[in-house]
Each structure stands twice: as C-alpha cells, then as structure tokens.
Structure 1
Amino acid sequence: MPIIRRLPENLVNQIAAGEVVERPAAALKELVENALDAGARRITITLADGGTTLLEVADDGCGMDRESLHLAVERHATSKLPRDDLGAIATMGFRGEALPSIASVSRLRLASRTVDGEGWQLAIDHGHRLEDGPAAQPPGTTVTMEGLFDKVPARQKFLRSPRAELAACLDVVRRLAMARPDVAFTLTHDGRRLLAVPAGPDASAASILGRLSALLGAEFVESAVAVDLLREGVALGGLAGIPTFNRGVADQQFLFVNRRPVKDRLLAGALRGAYMDLLARDRHPVAVLFLDVPADFVDVNVHPAKTEVRFRDPGLVRGLIVSGIRRALDAAGQRPAANISAAALAAFAVPAMAQPAQSALWDRPSATDPLTAAGLAEPPRLFTEFPPAFAPHAVPAAGPAAAPPAQQFPLGAARGQIAGTYIVAETDDALILVDQHAAHERLTLERMKFALAGGRVAAQALLVPETVELDEPSAARVVARAGELAELGLELESFGTQAVLVRATPALLGRADARALVIDLAADLAHWGEALSLRDRLDSVAATMACHGSVRAGRILSVAEMNALLRQMEITPNAGQCNHGRPTFVRLALTDIEKLFGRR
C-alpha cells in the first residue's frame, strides 16, 4: 500500500501557484488588486516580454511594516478578513495565497513602507529567501516579479508568445481601471507607455463615463445607451452598445460585480439574451455593466482566480440585465452607430471630372425620363397594413402626392431611391440613407412578435401546396416540430422521408418563398438541437421568417411607399437595426456634406 506523506512546502506552493498564477496576467491581476485594497490612488505597472521576464507593480497605498511584510509571503495570511467571515468580503483579494504562490515560481522582490515608518524589503528566489533588510522606498509598495516559471519548465511550456501575454495583461488592467476611475493607472511595456489614465475626482457615474471614453474610445460612448435599473436591492448600471455597434468576438464585454471584474457565464448569457433578435448569431454586443448587490447576495469565493461568482437568486440577476438593457435600447429610439456615418463619409472622394462637350448639354433626357426609368411613375402595390398598435398613422395611398416637409419627421421626407435598394430622405439638417430590405425586415419581425403576443399567428393557405425537398434528417426535424410551427402560421406535413408539404405560410409574410423559408428553418433546427421548444427560440424563429417576408433589395418603390416605410420605422421599436444587427439607416449631417464641397 502506498505510503501517505506530506508534500514539501515548496511543492505545495508551486501547486497553489498553478491555480492562482498560471500566466503573467493572473499574477498582475492579484498584485493590482492588492494595491487597490491598500488604498492606492496611483498604480504604475512595468512589463518586459509580456510580463514573462519582468512584471513590476508600484503603488502609493498604505504600505506594510516589517512584520506585515514577512507575513505577506506566507500562505493563508491576509489582512482582508478581519472578522473571519467569508460571507462579508468587501475587498478585491482575500485568499492570502497570491504572494507566496508568485514567490514559489519566480524571483520576487517585495519592498514596502508605511507613511510614518521605515522601508523594508524581501527577495525570494523560487521559494528561497535571499534578502531581508532595509530599503529606500517611498510610502507604498513595490512588487517586482522576474523570470516567471524559469525553474518550473512544466509550467513554462504553457506560456504563450510575449505578444499574447501582453494582450492578456492589458485586458486585466483595462478591466480594473474601468471599475476604479478614482485611481490613476500607467502601464509600460519594453520601455513604451501603452496605457495612461489619470485619476478622476471620485468613482461617480460621470467619472466612470470619462474613464470608459479614455479606455474604449469616444466612439463606444457615443454609440451606447445608459443602463440604470434597481430591483429588490440589486442595482444595474453602465453602458450598453446599440445593436449596430457590434463585434465578431465577445472581447468587448466588461462585467463587474461590486466593482470586481468577472467573466461569469450567467452574466454573459443574460447579456446575450438582452440582444436576442437584435443581433445575428455570429455577432456580439459591446457593453460595460456594473452590478451592485448586497454582500450576502453573492459568493465571490467559488473560483481560485475570483472571476466567477454565485448569486443567491440567479433569476433576479438575469432578469435585471435583460430588462435593464432592453429598456435602455427601446428608450434610445432609432440611433445608428456613431462609427457608421463617419465611415460612410470617409468613403466619399471628389473625383476629377472632365468638362462635358457643348453638344452634351443639349442631349440630356427630360426631367420625367429618370422618374419613369426608376418606376416611380407607376408604383407597385403598397405594403400590407400594420396592426393597429404599430400603425397610428395611416399608410398613404398610391399616386402623386406632395412630399411632407423635411423637418416634420425624425427620418425626414423621401426624395428618391438608389439602385432599387436605398431610400434617400432629407431632414432639415441631414441626409438619411435607408436600406429598404433591412428596415422592412425589422418592421416585419415586430409585427410577428405583436401577433405572437396575442397567441397564434394567422396562416395564409397556399392555393397549391408546395413540396420542399430536404435531406432525411432535416425533413424529420421539421416534421417533428410541425405542431409548434403551425402556431407560428407555418402549416406543413410529411411528404415521404425526404420532403415536406407546405400548406400554409404566415399571413404577415405575404407572398413568401415557402421553399427558402422551410430550408432556413431546417438549418436553424439543426443548429439549436432538440433541447428547447420553438417557443424558447421564438425571437430567432420570427427573425428567420421576417427575413423572408420583407421587401427585397431591387424592388422599385413609389415616393408614397418610401414615406410609409419611414413613418413606420419612426414608431417601431428597435428600427435602427435589422434582425442581424446591421444598421437600417445612416445619417449624414448637412455640415459634413458641406465640408465635402469646401463650404466649411
């Protein structure tokens, strides 16, 4: 039988280091959190080779005396639990393992001094103490880590490139700096200053806004809405980007619980749920959210790196995030992302044009010819009328009509159409370009959601049922959900092992392409699996259907139709973006247009 023995202290510390300090960014997080807990107002970080060869954190906090300095490098020694109560943790760090763990896998120098005391320092090389004596140190603490995992090759081989390690370190500092605008942060790497934000007067909302602008850019602040909601003693604040301001990866989602940065699956899932039907599956929102909860409502001691938390009432937290963000987005109305108009404006250039020949001036088409060519003289039928809740304004009839004044409506008056795809509208101070398919797709989705809220979507029977061929697994998946699809207005049945027969489509979609609709829904069902009902995926199903029921790019619209679309956009929730998170319109300010022509 194997003999049980106690592991040596240095090996115990190295094992603990594997849980707490797996890379330079993890060590940096622990050291900066210690500085914040010490009351620092200025934190200076110095890195070399992504923190693998050098990582130094200097602060102007309360500092430590000689005795405290010796205790700081011993395991399970901390000043952050004065009452031995793990349920009332009010500090960033609390485990008492960071410094001894770092000292066991690197060369660590720790120097500190209180305001009215003498400076003292310790030097430890992979668990072995080398120096212990006085130091010329200003008030505060300086921790220097060199040669991380130099003598632990099993850990060192898992370090990534210096560039990747630097990116992780920058992410850690940004997150901590967002939560503490009252603290100045400076980060230097290989002699280059990469981050420098001054200390604000306090930790108020105004200071946080300024800090977010400095760290994430003014573009994010201009393209975000303020979130502010209080429910049952739990408060949610911060900024949530409008749906058109999105990214291909979820690297710009910053979540905080009691000003502690976390990467929690519950919170990330709630954030994703808040943007359901506003973003495509492969796009991700940008947000900075601060959740303030009572100390006994959350357990922050469930993860070695303190990045995950456990809530006493997860449902309350999830509902708070979803409701808070959706209310803020709905209140914002139609807003395009701040970067869209700027990007569009930058694409304009003044071309060099040759002077036309004299004869060409007399060969121009008549003023009515372009209108006839554009199809405006004989407009097609109008859109289907909207339900009363979405149509307080009557849809105008077809035929010639005087254009409304440009300043009368937020999205202005329609002036024409480009390439059968984009509506050109004018307000008193801007030019509005509208993607007609993207805009109508959003309107159709909101109409479907309105109908679904009343129970069952009305179906429109096909004169001749349509056969849609699929592979056998896809056909089986669709037929298995036939009952649920019928509630959404799509009536179909099995037609052999590799086909389905479509008998009716949702009436709201008009003359939709039944074949394309069923094929897309089959792909969606394969992606979602069978764990959830379609009611749980209601927004996604409705979005897929809405895409097939929207006016297509290339359809020529009358001026009356274009104005009808603009008016419906103005009274429809989330009309600033389509179901996939793309913008439905772009606003070009008149002052910017004047600059293009040298008038300003």
Structure 2
Amino acid sequence: MQIRQLPDTLINQIAAGEVVERPASVVKELVENALDAGALRIDIDLEEGGIRLIRIRDDGGGIAPEELPLAVARHATSKIASLDDLEAVATLGFRGEALPSIASVSRFSLSSRRAGDEHGASLQVEGGKLGEVAPKAQAPGTTVEVRELFYNVPARRKFLRAERTELGHIEEWLRSLALARPDVELRVSHNGRPSRRYKPDLLDASLRLNETLGEDFARQALRVEHGAAGLRLHGWIALPSYSRASADQQYLYVNGRAVRDRNVAHAVKIAYQDVLFHGRQPAYVLFLEIDPLRVDVNVHPAKHEVRFRDTRLVHDFVYRTLQDALAETRAGAIAAATQGAADNAQYPATAAAFGSPRQWLPTQQSPLGLSLGEAPAAYAALYAQPPVSQPYSAQSQEQRLPASSDAAVPPLGYAIAQLHGIYILAENADGLIVVDMHAAHERIGYEKLKSAHDGIGLHSQPLLVPLNLAVAEREAEVAEREAETLATLGFDVTRSGPQSLSVRSVPALLAQAEPEGLLRDVLTDLREHGETRRIAAARDELLSTMACHGAVRANRRLSVPEMNALLREMEITERSGQCNHGRPTWARFSLTEIDRWFLRGR
C-alpha cells in the first residue's frame, strides 16, 4: 500500500482517541491548563454529564489574542521549549495535544483576556476547522466551551455511558483535584443548578478531607510527614480499622500530579499487610515530592502514570515510612492524645507517637523490641500457663486504682470486670474500654516473637542435595544480579545455566515451606519492585500462628491485676490496635455516647 501523510484533522482525532476518553478527560485537561495559568478560582458548568456542554472559566493569566490560534495548534505550548524542560516538567500539562484534540471532536470555543488588556478575544473551532479571532467581552482569565462532544465521531459517542455515570467520573476527578489543591476554589454546576463547591482554605488543608472523603475518614486518619534521600512523603493514611472493600479511597500525587503507580501501590499494600483484615483495602491520600529530574512524567498520553529513575528507592522509602507510622497504632494511643499533658508525662511511650489524634511524625526512637538475651525468656513467658484465678469479684480500691486519687489514668484505663471470659471491661478518663483479650494477647505475643527473631536474624539451612530449578531467562538474570540480596534472605543461589538455578541453602525457619515456590515469588518481587517481603511475610505467618496458639483462650478467667497488666502491654506494643489477622483488639465508648443510650440530659 502507498504511504501517505495523514491530514491534520485526522491526526488530531487519532490523538483525541488517546487523550479524550470521556467528558471527565476533557474536564481534566482544561482544568489542569487553568491551574498552570495560575487560576485560584475555576467554574465548571456541565450539561448532560458533560456530553452536551463543558464550560471551564478561570481567573488565570489569560492568552494574548494573536496566540489563540497557536493554543489549538498541535504541539504548541508555553510550558516547555527544550529537552531539558521536558526532563524537569513542573506543570500539569505540557504536551500541547489537549486543546487541538478536544477541538477536533467537538464544537469548541476559546475566549481569553489578560489582566492588562482592554478587552478579550475569542476563537471558534468546528470539528477541527479554525474560525477567525474576534473581539469579545471577557473577564480576566480564560473560558473554554466544549459542546456536543464526539458529535462528528458517532462511533466514539456510542461508547459514552449514561449521564449520571459520566457526571460521576467528573466528580471523582474533581474530588481528587480538590484534595491536591486546597488553595483553589472550585464551583461546579450541572444542568443549570449548582451541584458542588470546594471553598479555598490556605490555613488547614485537612478541612478538604471532610469535604471530599467525609468526617469518618478525617477522624480516623493519621497525618504522615517524612523526608529522606531527597524524597518527601506527606498526607494522610487511614487507621487499619477504617478499611474499604475496594480501592476507591486511594489517592497518590507525585509532585502535585495525580497518578497511578503500581510500585507505590505495592509499597502501601505491604506496609498495611500486618494490620489489615484479609481482603480489605487501605485508604490514603499521599503526596510524594521528588526532584523532577528523578521522575519521568512523559510516559502516558493522559499523564496518568510516571516512571521513577530509582524504583527501588521510592518503593523502600514509601514502605518504611508507612510501616513505621502504622507500627505506632498502639491500642489507646488516640484516646491518650485527647487527654491532658499530665497523661503525656506519665505515658510517654504512647504520647510521643501521636502529637494529636491525626498526626504521626517519624522519630529517632527505636521500636519496642527484645534483646537476643531476652528472647528465650520472652518465648517461655508467652507459652507459660497463666495462673488460674477466680472469677472477678469486688476488689479493694488499692487493687483497682492508682495509689493516689489524682494520678493520671492511662489510655486504656483500669480493668473493672471480665465479660463472658472473652472481653475485658475497663474504665478510663473518657468512658468505657472493651478489649478482646485473646486478640490483644495474640498481637502482643506476635510482636515479641518478631522482635526476638529479628534479633537473631535469618539463618540459612544447607540442603543435603542442591535443588536444580528451571526458570525463565529473566528470572535467572535477576537471581544472578541479586545474589547478595538473596543471601541476606537466607538463600544461596547460583546461576547454573541460561535458564537454570542451583539452590544450596534456604531460610532455616522456612525449610519446610516449599522453597521452590517461595524462591520463584521472591524473584518475581525483585524483578517487578526491586524489593521483596516474601520471606518476612512467610516468617510472620509462621510466628503469627505460634502466637495465636500461645494467646489466652476464651473463657479463661483473669484476675484484675492480670487484666491491667494486659492493658499496659497493649499500650506499649506496636500495632496492638489490631490482632495478627487485622481484627480490632479494642473499642472505646465515651461517657457522652453512653449517656445518649439512656437519653440522659434530654
């Protein structure tokens, strides 16, 4: 077949197939242009879910009249001028594709006025055909109208969904934007009626959490702030108790750009692995800041994805930051944060981790752990039979309360009873605490076993006969390249051929855990993420089972001192807010809440 140069209109319509997926794609491109122009207020008017009309008005810098035709010309932009600019992009848009692509599949108009101009100017585009620039009354800023999207591409229009569905996609993207830019006011109307307004707030960005994700998320979110190795991660992560059936509340921003990244998503997933109930999804709003030279944003036409220069560093940084934050989710910690400074002085292990109910800042404090010498004793104590005690009866005041009446009450309070041999009831300064004693003891034992094993390290167990393993060539390459990493995990692996490995030793603790399949999973992780927690996860699963068997069982009667001892252990044990399987270990009922049960004060 003869090679022909495609006409400009067809070129733009092909590009539109990549950039303009649905009305939400148009809104995204136009609003991002407004933000790049310095807008602080953006009005978004929609009709029929954006299919009939999308109008974006901003108060940004505006466009000179003579530059309006250039604005809708292919690959014309004010945002980059050289390869150096492309490698360090700091704007949301930069390709110069969006406006010509949108204009090629709609009835399009562009009006703009700069602050110093006497009047504005307008340009009409019909199906990619430019009209003449004409004067027009226009407030400073830019207005873009997109009417009858895909009117000239009926095949594409058939793929659009119902009005409500398309509107939902637009609202979801605006929600994502609102989280990233609390300084910008967003006003949305649909079919002539105001539908949503995000008010700007320069002082407290967390207020946007209430507007976008609701009070429940805001109330159960930890504020994260950490920087290292030229990276900075900040934002909010939800407590494990606030988990979702789907990934609908997972927002990631890289240098202010909303993106999807499998590498970071994997890091978040494994950070939550030890505290989240099976099958549930974490919720988070995270902002990763990195030198633009270390991230490539030019890998996706719609700029949904990025590529990091050092994937392993980013993955490890995100994982360790969130893992450390979640380790501080000690039972009672949030309750402690609401108490006075006197409480903080008496219970520094809890108070130091939470400056407020929704803040976690990394410290140099080492996590709770056991020395190697303490490990055998801790293991023995975990499996020792607790002393047999009588059912709870009234105890003396000295047994139940601190020696002085004005002593601070600890976060989980003091035990007052045991319910059905399953739950511990305790009174704290705020109301009633209910603890699942088996779940709590299970987590305490589990964390002690992990600390003890971390002190010992991962030992290797040589195999009597080396295991010859057939693998894909890329897996063999990973094994050869990551030989030192594999050795630290307990594997002695050498490449014996283009598609074969020889395994001479495996992690001693997991020698009975089918090492062939484990090694394959480890190699997959190293190839895809540059990091693996397969060994640690398999080890943790084994230690979790051991801790579960060693925990106190239901219907086991505990004395009040024993119950109080368990409460104090919970307050200083990492991740004690959840058991090994992600179930909550405790619940709090404030006195105000209990009063409502009985209609007191009404």
State the SS of the aligned residue for 1:292. strand
Q: Aligned partners of 1:223 and 1:41: how far apart in 2? A: 30
State the SS of the aligned residue for 2:316. helix
* Residue type of the alignment partner of 1:101: S
**Per-residue deviation, residues 296-318 of structure 1 (Å, max 9, x unmatched):** 11111111111111112222211
2:400 match: 404
2:433 match: 432
How far the C-alpha of 1:564 sits from its partner, in A, is 3.4
2:5 match: 6
1:247 match: 244
Give runs of aligned pairs for residues 22-421 of structure 1, distance below 5 A.
Answer: 22-84=21-83, 85-117=85-117, 118-130=119-131, 132-201=133-202, 206-334=203-331, 388=378, 397-399=387-389, 402=396, 403-405=399-401, 408-421=409-422
1:20 match: 19
Question: Is contact 1:46-1:57 (8 Å) kept?
Answer: yes
How far the C-alpha of 1:449 sits from its partner, in A, is 1.7
Q: Aligned partners of 2:568 and 2:380: how far apart in 1? A: 10
* Residue type of the alignment partner of 2:79: K
How far the C-alpha of 1:5 sits from its partner, in A, is 0.6
Question: Is contact 2:450-2:543 (8 Å) kept?
Answer: no
State the SS of the aligned residue for 2:35. helix
In structure 1, list runs of 5 or more residues that go unmatched.
339-384, 459-480, 494-523
Q: Aligned partners of 1:491 and 1:12: how far apart in 2? A: 60
1:214 to 1:389, Cα distance in 2 relative to 1, 3 A: farther
How far the C-alpha of 1:597 sits from its partner, in A, is 3.0
State the SS of the aligned residue for 2:587. strand
1:40 to 1:545, Cα distance in 2 relative to 1, 3 A: same
Question: Is contact 1:448-1:457 (8 Å) kept?
Answer: no
Q: Aligned partners of 1:320 and 1:529: how far apart in 2? A: 19
1:36 to 1:231, Cα distance in 2 relative to 1, 3 A: same
How far the C-alpha of 1:73 sits from its partner, in A, is 0.5
* Residue type of the alignment partner of 1:321: V
**Per-residue deviation, residues 521-569 of structure 1 (Å, max 9, x unmatched):** xxx99x9799579515336624762584264774243234433332221
Question: Is contact 1:242-1:335 (8 Å) kept?
Answer: no
Q: Aligned partners of 1:584 and 1:104: how far apart in 2? A: 58
Question: Is contact 1:390-1:568 (8 Å) kept?
Answer: no
Question: Is contact 1:437-1:552 (8 Å) kept?
Answer: yes
How many percent of aligned residue pairs carry the same amino acid?
A: 45
* Residue type of the alignment partner of 1:573: E
How far the C-alpha of 1:326 sits from its partner, in A, is 2.3
1:422 to 1:233, Cα distance in 2 relative to 1, 3 A: same
Q: Aligned partners of 1:221 and 1:252: how far apart in 2? A: 12
**Per-residue deviation, residues 15-51 of structure 1 (Å, max 9, x unmatched):** 1011111111111111110000001010111222222
User: Which stretch shifts more, 292-301 or 540-549?
Assistant: 540-549
Q: Aligned partners of 2:301 and 2:445: how far apart in 1? A: 48
Q: Aligned partners of 1:331 and 1:159: how far apart in 2? A: 46
**Per-residue deviation, residues 410-448 of structure 1 (Å, max 9, x unmatched):** 212222233443221111321001123332332233233
* Residue type of the alignment partner of 1:572: T
1:492 to 1:535, Cα distance in 2 relative to 1, 3 A: closer
Question: Is contact 2:378-2:448 (8 Å) kept?
Answer: no
TM (norm. structure 1) is: 0.75
State the SS of the aligned residue for 2:434. strand
| Count of residues paired in the alignment | 496
Tell me the C-alpha RMSD between the 2 structures.
Answer: 3.5
Q: Aligned partners of 2:22 and 2:154: how far apart in 1? A: 13
Q: Aligned partners of 1:449 and 1:190: how far apart in 2? A: 58
How far the C-alpha of 1:491 sits from its partner, in A, is 6.2
State the SS of the aligned residue for 2:86. coil
Give runs of aligned pairs for residues 366-515 of structure 1, distance below 5 A.
Answer: 388=378, 397-399=387-389, 402=396, 403-405=399-401, 408-455=409-456, 487=509
1:541 match: 541
2:353 match: none
In structure 2, list runs of 5 or more residues that go unmatched.
336-374, 403-407, 460-502, 526-532
* Residue type of the alignment partner of 1:25: A
Question: Is contact 2:522-2:534 (8 Å) kept?
Answer: no
Q: Aligned partners of 2:58 and 2:380: how far apart in 1? A: 57
User: Which stretch shifts more, 147-156 or 543-552?
Assistant: 543-552
Q: Aligned partners of 1:145 and 1:94: how far apart in 2? A: 20
* Residue type of the alignment partner of 1:251: D
State the SS of the aligned residue for 1:247. coil
1:183 to 1:391, Cα distance in 2 relative to 1, 3 A: farther
Q: Aligned partners of 2:380 and 2:44: how far apart in 1? A: 55
Question: Is contact 2:68-2:133 (8 Å) kept?
Answer: no
1:509 match: none
1:59 to 1:395, Cα distance in 2 relative to 1, 3 A: farther
* Residue type of the alignment partner of 2:18: E
1:501 match: none
1:588 match: 589
**Per-residue deviation, residues 115-149 of structure 1 (Å, max 9, x unmatched):** 12221112222212356422221111111112222
Q: Aligned partners of 1:40 and 1:298: how far apart in 2? A: 26
Q: Aligned partners of 1:308 and 1:208: how far apart in 2? A: 25
How far the C-alpha of 1:336 sits from its partner, in A, is 8.2
How far the C-alpha of 1:254 sits from its partner, in A, is 1.0
State the SS of the aligned residue for 1:122. strand
1:426 to 1:83, Cα distance in 2 relative to 1, 3 A: same
Q: Aligned partners of 2:283 and 2:327: how far apart in 1? A: 17
1:588 to 1:149, Cα distance in 2 relative to 1, 3 A: same
Q: Aligned partners of 1:549 and 1:131: how far apart in 2? A: 80
